[in-house]
Structure formats: structure tokens, C-alpha cells
Amino acid sequence: MSDVPSTITEPLDAPPAHGDVPALPRLLAGVRRDGEPVSLDQHLALHGPPPAIRGERRSGRERAAALIDEIQLSGLLGRGGGAFPTATKMRAVADARGRAIVVANGAEGEPASTKDRTLLELLPQLVLDGTILAAEAVGADEAIVCVCESAGAGVQSVERAIEERAGERSPPRSPKLQLRTVPSHYVAGQESALVNYLGGGPARPTFTPPMPFQQGLRRRPTLINNIETLAHIALIARHGARWFRQLGTPTQPGSALVTLSGPVNHPGVYEIQHGASLASVINAAGGPTTGVRAALTGGYAGAWIAGQSLRGLALSNEHLAAHGASLGAGVVLLLSEDACPVAETARVARWLAGQSARQCGPCTHGLDALASTVEQIAAGNGHAHAAQRIDRLASLTARRGACAHPDGAVNVILSALEVFAREFADHARHGPCDACRRPPDLPLPHRPVQREQALDGAPPRR
Amino acid sequence: MSHRVRVNPIACEAHGMCAELLPERITLDEWGYPLIDGAPLEGEQVEHAVRAARACPTFALLVERERSARRRR
């Protein structure tokens, strides 16, 4: 089902140094060991009813505004990779003209991430809870939960969770919930691509503005939040901003789900607090199985960190920024010392070129040319000025597409060239090394990009 | 009030008319797609930009008026 193991293992149980602070897990509390999803009854027994149905005297409108205020105080940042302030996005949707729609984004096209499908599989009611609260907060009467079509168990789990809620007596005017499966290719989860797909077009990005929060699905203001973000909202609504900030860093508060893969004994999804050390996560995963050469954070749009920098590395965007990296959607991928970073980069570059929707010329041609140049260096066939050629191609490719795909691809390629400069120079001079023949370490799933218009769909928006 | 040019990269099919008609602001990359200097247009350039936008076979070139600072977010 998944491309990296999604075994959920023990959550990191590292209480912070100061005071009597509730420890982790937060999101992963109550996860069942048998791998079955937590039912609605179990969910409510664990977390209590969401505040909106507690019969407070305030009007619905006041409660909605109060929730957005609380989310703003909590400092919650989006967990789909962009780390955009969630309250800002919600307020923009709430203030936009027209009845809003909420889209819970569980597309998770990132090959090195399984946290979203894990959350959907095991804790669907927590996600639905946050989705409903977000919908109430922005005045939406409808919420669409998008799950990657390759996340079989996650799809079933959400389907059953929605049915379970349909059987309950729901409060009046609670938003209508709907499940949609979405294609698995890399850019399918990009906001405008999702809106385009849900509207009957292909899952490809469109030209913005209008941004989805202004004019999204059916031209209505559309709040698109990652499903982990929504799960945090469910807890912030119950426990408040102060509680949320008791974990994490001042600029990146709270806990986060991290997908750890590579040479560790128990790769999988872990809940950490922002700022936790990389060593503590590796430790929680049973320690390394071999030497670790480098770590890729932020996924295939992220950056590499190697060698001495790994010691004392803290998993927060503030710390990672010093290495030109970020946590992205919580991806930490370790590269074994036995792997060849040059061969891995060449394969990733080709894969990313293949994941282009091929709508924008600079992305189509630029990523292709970049992948070819990296392949030539890896094979020892690069011409003398291959490095300059890559710099030139990078500047012709980044920030010239309708979406951020070319930017991320350029980012990860340039980062590899910098961090593995010695290895690239060796390959350029001497050709492939022994490790080049090893099977790939980094996951490169076959995910055909949907390029044709959906058969039953309306023409794509442009 | 100032004007800038921007390209819709999805609509653009590298016909290259824009670089012919507004060379002060637009050059072409090695594949024929426009590289745009997004600085505000000066004087007669606005007129040339509008002409270039009209000449684009796929209407991919946009002449945008600078949004005022009063814009609600």
C-alpha cells in the first residue's frame, strides 16, 4: 500500500524540561495497537465532545470567531509543507464573499511521507472532528475529505467514519461531509490542482489568482487545510492555545507528525514536539541499523543535511533554516552510508521531472534538462561546464511555473550538489562508483501524472 | 498607479511575440519562453505592453495594474 513502512510505533515520550507539561502523544493518543481505526465512541470518550456542541449560550457566529482567535493565539502553522499560519487562511475564507467550502487535504503526494494516511487510517474521527469545527468556524455548509487513491485502508477508514457520524444525531446546520479519492501523483495535492480536480477537471495546478480562499471550488471561498492541521484544530478547540503552546518552539508551537524512513530499526510515523532533536527521533525508532550519511528533510522539495551538522540537529524550521532546510510536511529521510547520493539524486531528479504536470514550459523543459545533466555527471559523461549548466538551468526553472513544483525540485537538486559536492566531483571524474549499482534507497513510486481531462469532467479551469 | 507585465505560464506556448513587441522588458529563454522583468513599466512601455498582450496568440501575457495598498487581505 504505502511506499515507506507506515508501522505506527511508540510515540516519542520525551517530556520537556520545564514544569508540569503534558507529555506526548497528543494526536496519536488512543491509537489502537490492533491497527483498527478509533471509533466515534472511543474518540469522544478519549477527547470529550467538541466545544461547539456543548450548548454554550453564545451564538454560533461568536463561537466561530472565537475558535479562529484561539487558533491564531495557538500559532498553529499548516502541516501540508507550507507552514502558513492557519488562522490567517481561515479568516480570509470567513471574510470572503459567498458560502465557504472546506477541503480536508489528505492527498499526500510526497513519496517519503505517510503521516497523513496513517492519521486517516487510525484516527479518522479526530480528522473529521477538526474538519467540522473548521467548517463551522468559516461558515461552510460542506466539507470534502480528500484521500489519496493509493491509501486503501485510509479511504475505507474515512468512509466508515463518515457513515458512523451519519448514524448519530448531529446538531442542526452541521456541515455535510463527503469523501473523495484523489490521484496519487506529486502535484495532485497542490491547492489549485485539488480545486480543479474536485470541480471535474484534471488534478493539475491552475493559474492563480484567484486563490482558492477567494474563489475556489464552484467559485466559492474554499478553505484547504492539510488533515493533520485539522486534527490539531480539534484539540485546540478543546484545550486552548495555551495548552497547544506548552510543546514546541515559540515560532513553531505544538507537536507534529514526522515520517522517519531510512536505516532505522522501526521506520514509521512519530509524534514529536517541534524542536525535538533528530537523535531523539532516531532513538525512538530503535536506533540506526547502519551509519547515516545524511538526512533529507522536507521531502523531495526539501534539502539535505550531512555529516557533523546532523549532530545536535533540532527538528524545527528555525533550526533547519540555518541549513537551508525545513521540516516541510514532517519528512525526515535518512540516507545510509552505503548508498550513493549521486545515483540517488539522479533518480530523484528524473522522477521529479516525470511528476511535472507539463503545463508550464520552463518546468517541462527545465526539469528534464536538469535531470539529464545530473544523470550525465553521475555516469561520468558530464561536459566540463556541467556545474555551471546546472546553475543556469536552475535559474531558468525555479519560480517560473504556475505552482511551486519546479521550485522544490530545483531546491533538492541544488542542495544535493552542495552537500555531496565531493561525491559529485568524484563521479564527474571517474564515473559510477560501486554503490551506484545498489538498488535505490529513496522511494520512487510509479505515479502516472493525470494529463488528460477527466472523462466525466468539465473543462479545466485556466 | 503603475503597470507590470506577468505571464500565465500554463497558457504560454512560446510563440515569442511578446519579446518582439516589448524587448525592453521581455527576453526569451533557450526554449522560447519569456523571461520577464517585472519592474513597473515606464512611459510608452505601457502602450507597447498592451500591444504585446493583444498580439499573444494564447493571451498568456498580462498587463496588470499595481494593486493599491488599501486592498483587503
CATH numbers and ranges of domains, chain B: 3-58 (3.30.70.20)
User: Which residues in A lie closer than 8 A to residue B8 (C-beta atoms)?
Assistant: 207, 402, 462
Residue ranges, chain B, pLDDT below 50: 69-73
Residue A459 near chain B (CB below 8 Å): no
Question: A207: distance to nearest CA of chain B, Å?
Answer: 7
Q: Is A291 on the interface with B (CB under 8 A)?
A: no
Q: What is the mean pLDDT of each run of 10 residues along chain A (462 residues)?
A: 41 43 85 94 94 57 85 98 96 94 97 97 98 95 96 96 86 86 95 96 93 93 98 97 96 97 97 96 96 96 93 95 95 97 97 97 98 96 89 97 97 97 95 95 87 48 42
Question: Which residues in B lie closer than 8 A to residue A365 (C-beta atoms)?
Answer: 31, 33
**A406 in contact with B at a CB cutoff of 8 Å?**
no
Which of B9, B11, B72 is facing A400, going by the closest CB pair? B9
User: CB-based contact (8 Å) between A97 and chain B?
Assistant: no
- Nearest C-alpha in B relative to A95: B73
Q: Between chains, do A396 and B29 touch, taking CB under 8 Å as contact?
A: yes
Phi then psi dihedrals of residue A369, to 5 deg: -65, -40
Q: What is the pLDDT of residue A449?
A: 86
Distance CA A257, CA A241 (A): 19
What pLDDT, on the 0 to 100 scale, is given for residue A54? 44
How high is the pLDDT of residue A392? Answer: 97
Instruction: Test A360 with B10 for CB contact under 8 angstroms.
Output: yes
Which residue numbers of B have CB closer than 8 Å to A's CBs? 8-14, 29-33, 35, 72-73
The dihedral through the CA atoms of A231, A233, A237, A243 has a sign that is positive
Burial A151-185 (b: 16+ CB within 10 A, else e): bebbbbbbebbbebbeeeeeeeebbebebbbbbbb
ipTM of the predicted structure?
0.91
Contact A357, A451 (CB under 8 A): yes
* Contact criterion met (CB below 8 Å) for A13 and A23: yes
DSSP string, A3-20: SS---B-PPP----SSSS
Which segments within A63-128 are labelled E, that is strand? 100-106
- Rounded to a whole number of angstroms, the distance from the CA of A238 to the nearest CA of chain B is 29
Identify which of A205, A206, A361 has the shortest CB distance to residue B12. Answer: A361
Rounded Cα–Cα distance for residues A328 and A277 (Å): 16
Residue A208 confidence (pLDDT): 86
Instruction: Respond yes or no on whether the N-terminal peptide bond of residue A209 is cis (omega within 30° of 0).
Output: yes
Domains detected in chain A: 40-48+56-245 (3.40.50.11540), 255-336 (3.10.20.600), 341-437 (1.20.1440.230)
Closest Cβ–Cβ partner in B9, B72, B73 for A361: B9
Residues in Cβ contact with B53 at an 8 Å cutoff, skipping those fewer than 6 apart: B5, B18, B59, B61, B62, B63
Rounded to 5, what percent of chain B is helix, strand, coil? Answer: 20, 20, 55
The candidate with the shortest Cα–Cα distance to A443, out of A236, A259, A277, is A259
Q: Cell numbers 489502537 label which residue?
A: A32
Q: How is residue B25 annotated by DSSP?
A: T
CA distances from A268 to A231, A291, A305, A392 (A): 19, 19, 20, 38
Per-residue three-class SS string for A350-371: HHHHHCCCCCCHHHHHHHHHHH
